Amino acid sequence: MFTENIKKQRKQQSKWFDEHADFAINIFILIEHNSRHKSQTKSILVVNKQIKQHYSTYILEWIDSNLRWNASEYGGISEVKIAAHKVWKPDILLYNSADERIDSTFAVNVNVKNNGSCTWLPPGIFKSTCKIDITWFPFDDQTCLMKFGSWSYVASALDLRVHSEEGGDLSTYIENGEWILLGLSS
């Protein structure tokens, strides 16, 4: 079944791919929020890298009609796991990445159901740029944006929808000790 459908590129006129993908992020731990403050006696010198690094996984769900099958014709198998490099998947990347590797995710399988529903949960260590305002240091709150999107599809070709209004899940988040994560929104 998969011999002809593995790793097909999406064509604009093709309808085999549902034109939307659902996206969410789960942040496990804030590894480092690199904001260095140095002071000298006569003047203040602030060195600020403005980079946030965290271990997370994002959840990406989409429908691929080329990956549909009748489970009764395949011994009742209704779900399979396929190596991510063997199937087409939306190329969602962190636009404001501060990492030399554009894609910071680890290779994990795509879960495919017989109705064509695909789910991919790649974990990764993400480094993103983050504009820091230290005016009220050490009593400051910082807002760091992570901008995810398709690298090769325009919004009219691939509608990336946030899975929930919260934007992700913090139930597995481990406190950092130095920084407090106040919230996550989309």
Query: Could you read off the pLDDT of 117-174 as tens digits, one per residue?
Result: 999 888 877 777 777 777 777 777 777 777 777 777 776 677 667 666 665 666 777 7
CATH of the domain at 91: 2.70.170.10
- Note whether residue 8 is domain-resident: no
Domain count within the chain: 1
- Note whether residue 171 is domain-resident: no
pLDDT score for 137: 73
Report pLDDT digits (tens) over 88-122: 888 777 777 777 666 667 789 999 999 999 998 88
- Note whether residue 93 is domain-resident: yes
Compute CA distances 80 → 9, 63, 108, 119, 174, whole Å. Answer: 21, 14, 13, 11, 31
| Confidence class for position 79, pLDDT limits 50, 70, 90 | very high
What is the bridge-based pairing of β-strands 20-34 and 168-169?
A: parallel
- Note whether residue 14 is domain-resident: no
Average the pLDDT over 26-32 and give the result: 59
| Confidence class for position 29, pLDDT limits 50, 70, 90 | low
Q: Within 13 Å of residue 31, how many CA atoms lie on the same side as its CB?
A: 11
Compute CA distances 76 → 6, 12, 61, 62, 68, whole Å. Answer: 21, 33, 23, 22, 13
Q: Report which of residues 80 and 23 the model is more confident about.
A: 80
pLDDT score for 37: 43
- Note whether residue 57 is domain-resident: yes
- Note whether residue 185 is domain-resident: no
125, 53 contact by CB (below 8 A):
yes
φ, ψ for residue 80, nearest 5 deg: -135, 160
Q: Report which of residues 16 and 120 the model is more confident about.
A: 120
Name the pTM for this structure. Answer: 0.68
- Note whether residue 12 is domain-resident: no
Closest CA to 32 of 108, 98, 96: 98
Please report, to the nearest 10 degrees, the dihedral formed by the alpha carbons of residues 70, 75, 78, 81 taken in order. -120
Domain containing residue 112: 20-165
| Confidence class for position 73, pLDDT limits 50, 70, 90 | very high
